[in-house]
Amino acid sequence: MTSTMSAREAYRVELTELAAEDPRIVCLEADLGGASHCFRDRFPDRFLNLGIAEASAVDIAVGLASAGLRPFVSTFATFAAFRAAESVKLGLGYLAAPVVLVSPYGGVSGAWFGPTHHCLEDLAVMQSLPGVRIAVPAGEAETRAAIRTAAAGDQPCYVRLGRNEVFDAPFTPAGQGDVTWLNPPSGDTCLVSVGEKPTALCQAVTEQRPDLGHAHLCWVDAESLTLALPHLASARRLVVVEEHRPAGSVASTLALLLPDREVRGVNAGTDWPTEGGSHDETLAALGLTTSAVLSAV
Three-class SS state of 168: coil
pTM: 0.96
The pair phi, psi for residue 102, each rounded to 5°, is: -105, 120
Per-residue pLDDT tens over the stretch 114-168: 888 899 999 999 999 999 999 999 999 999 999 999 999 999 999 999 988 999 9
Q: Is 161 within 8 Å of 28 (Cβ atoms)?
A: no
Closest CA to 232 of 249, 247, 216: 216
What is the distance between the alpha carbons of residues 141 and 196, in angstroms, rounded to a whole number? 12
DSSP state string for 192-243 = EEESHHHHHHHHHHHHH-TTSEEEEESB-SHHHHHHHHHHHTT-SEEEEEES
CB neighbours (10 Å) of residue 264?
18
In this predicted structure, the answer to whether residue 284 has a pLDDT above a threshold of 90 is: yes
- 250-257 and 222-232 are packed helices; what angle lies between their axes, rounded to 10 degrees? 60
Per-residue pLDDT tens over the stretch 52-110: 899 999 999 999 999 999 999 999 999 999 999 999 999 999 999 999 999 999 999 98
Per DSSP, 169 falls in state -
